[in-house]
Amino acid sequence: MKKSILVAFLFLHLCCNAQEETPRIKDLFSKFDKYQVEGKYDSINYMSNNMLLNNDLNNFEKQAVYYIIGVYYAKVARYDEAIEKLKESLTYYTGSKPSTIGKNHALYFLADIYFTRQQYKNSFIYADQCINGFDGKRYAHKYITIHTIKAYYYYLNLEYNQSLKEYDLAEKKAASEAPCRVADVIMKKAKVLSKLKKYYEAKKHIDRALKLSDSCHIYVNKLNALKTLREILVENGKNEEANKLYYKIEDLSAQNILDKRNEKVDSLETIYKTKQKEALNKMLQKENVQKEKENNAQKIVIASISFGLLMLCLLLFYVYKLSKKQKQTNLLLSTQKADLERLNLLNQKIFTVISHDFKEPMLSLEVLLKSNLSDNQQSGKFNTNKELISNKLGQANLIMNNLLNWAKSELKIIPNKDTTSDVFTVAQNTISQLKPLLDNKKITVKNIIPADQKIAISADLLMIILRNLLNNAIKYSYAENDIIVGLNEHTREYYVQDFGTGIAKEHLDQLFKAEMPSKIGTNQETGFGLGLQFVTEILKQNNGTLRIESELHEGSVFYFTIN
C-alpha cells in the first residue's frame, strides 16, 4: 500500500507537467502534495469534492480528481470506495499522453489494492493491463511490483515456469535499477524453484537473498528469507535442519521485535523531545510576544514622553519668544514713555524760555521806542539801552537757534550722514559768529586745533556743538579772559576750555539732567541749560561722548569725541 501512495505522488507530478493541465488542476495537485506531507487527509477529501462541484470540468480534470479521491480512500483503508473512485477515473480516459499516464497509475493502484486484499485474480488483471506502462529507470519499482504480482498469481495457479519468467524479469530490473529489491524477488523465486524440485538452486537463491539483506540492512527481508528457507527444507524433507532453523528464526524474530520496540522507543523519545522543543519554542514565542508587547509599550511611552517633551520645549520656546517680545515691547514703551516725558519737559522749557528770554528784550525794545518817540533828545540813554537790547536780542537769537535745532533733532529731521568736516575751519567760523558776544566781554578765543584735522560728522552739526560749548564758556567767563579750543593728542579728544566760574564737583553729575537749573552768567546772562542737553543728544546720535573736568572758581574743560 505504501508503494501505491508513492505511485500517487508520481502520477500527480506527471500530470502537473501535462499539456491538458489547467491552472485549477495545478493548484489542486500542489495542495494535494502539501496535505499528503502534513497528513491532512480530510483536507484532501474536502478539496477534491469541492473541485467536483465545478460544472465545467474537462474529462482529464475529472480523471485526476477521481484518482485523488481514490488515493484518499485507500489511505484511510476504505478500499471499496477507493476501488470505486479509481475505476470511475478510468471512465474519463481521453487517449492523450498525460491521460494514458494517469490511466496506468490508476490500474497500478487498483492492482496493489486487490493484492493487499488478497484478491489475486483481480490484481493480476489490472497488473497485466498496465504491464507496458512502467518501463525505464524512472518506473523501476512499479515495473518490479507489477511483474511480482503476476509471478505470484502464476505461482498460486501452479504455472511455475511462467512464474519464473515473471520473477526473472523483475530480478533483472531490480539488479540494474533497484539492487536492494533483488533479495525480495529471489526469495520468492526460490519457492518456485523448490516446487520444481530444484532444491539446491533454491537454497542458493536463499543464501544470496540473506547476503543482500545484510548488505542493504533490510532485516525484514532476512527474516522472510529464513522463513522461506525453512519452508523449502520442510518441503524437501529436511526436517532436522528445518527445526534448527526454527530456533534461529525465533531468535531473529525476537531480536527484530526488540529492534522494532527500540525503534518505537527511540521514535517516542524523539517525538517527546520534539514536543518538548515545540513546547519550549511556544513558551519562548509567548515570552517573545510578551517582550515585544512590553517593548512596544515602552516605545509608546518613550514616544509619548518625547512628544510631551517636544511640546513642552515648543511651549517654553513660545513663552520665551513671547516673553522676549513682551520685554522688547516694554522696553519700547519705556523708551517711548521716557521720550514723551523728555519732550513734555522740553515743551515746558521752550514755553518758559519763550515767555522769559524773549519777553524781556521785547519789553525793553518797546520801552526804548516809546521813550524815543516822547523824547528824542535823550540820545545818551538811548544808546546805552540800545546796546543792552542788542545783547539781549543776540542771546535770544542763540536760544532760538538751539530751540529750532533741538526740535528738528527730536523730530528726526536732522540726517546723520557719513560725512567728515575740517574741525579747525568749522571752529574759526563758529568763533566769527560769536564775535559780538566775545567783544561785549572782551574775551579772546584761541583756536589751537591742528589744520586739516578731520572728524566724522557734518559741518552743521559740528558748528552747533562748538557754538553751544563756546557760548557756555563765554557765559561763565570773566571779562578779558581767554577761551581755548584745541585737541588732546593723546586721548584724541577735542575740547573747549574756559577760566571762568567753574562748577562744583557735587553738581557735575547733575549737569546734563533736565531738572538741573541753569546758573546766571558773569554778566547776568540767563538761560535754561538747553545747549548742553542738545549737544549731548547730537553726540549720542553720532556715537560720540562728552565729559567735563571742572574746578570751582578756576574754570571748566568740555571734552568731546566722535567715533
Which H or E element spans position 305?
helix 239-357
CB 105 within 8 A of CB 74: no
**Residue 66: partners with Cβ closer than 8 Å, 6 or more residues away:** 85, 86, 88, 89, 92
Amino acid at 285: Q
Give residue 386's pLDDT: 61
For position 373, what pLDDT does the model report? 46
Q: Give the domains, in start order, of the chain with CATH numbers.
A: 20-120 (1.25.40.10), 415-562 (3.30.565.10)
Long-range CB contacts for residues 162-165, cutoff 8 Å, separation at least 24: 163/192, 164/189, 164/192, 164/193, 164/196
CA dihedral 355, 360, 362, 365 (to 10 degrees): 180
Q: Within 358-413, where are the H helices? A: 359-374, 379-410
DSSP string, 439-455: HHHT-EEEE-PPTT-EE
Residue 36's pLDDT is 82
| 107 neighbors 123 (Cβ within 8 angstroms) | no
Find all residues with CB under 8 Å of 443, minimum gap 6, and list them: 474, 477, 479, 480, 481, 482, 483
Q: What is the pLDDT of residues 35-84, one digit of tens each?
A: 888 888 888 888 888 888 888 889 988 998 999 899 888 888 889 999 99
What's the pLDDT tens digit per position in 483-518? 999 999 999 999 999 999 988 888 777 776 655 566
Strands 482-488, 444-447: parallel, antiparallel or unpaired by DSSP? parallel
To the question of pTM greater than 0.75 for the whole model, the response is no
Alpha helix (H) ranges present in 415-549?
423-433, 435-441, 459-475, 505-508, 530-541
Low-confidence ranges of the chain (pLDDT < 50): 2, 6-7, 9, 13-19, 356, 372-374, 411-413, 415
- What is the Cα–Cα distance from 522 to 519, expressed in whole angstroms? 9
| Residue in 394, 454, 396 with CA at minimum distance from that of residue 423 | 454
Report which secondary-structure segment, H or E, holds 26. helix 23-38
Predicted pLDDT at 343: 65
Bridge partners of residue 555, in order along the sequence: 551
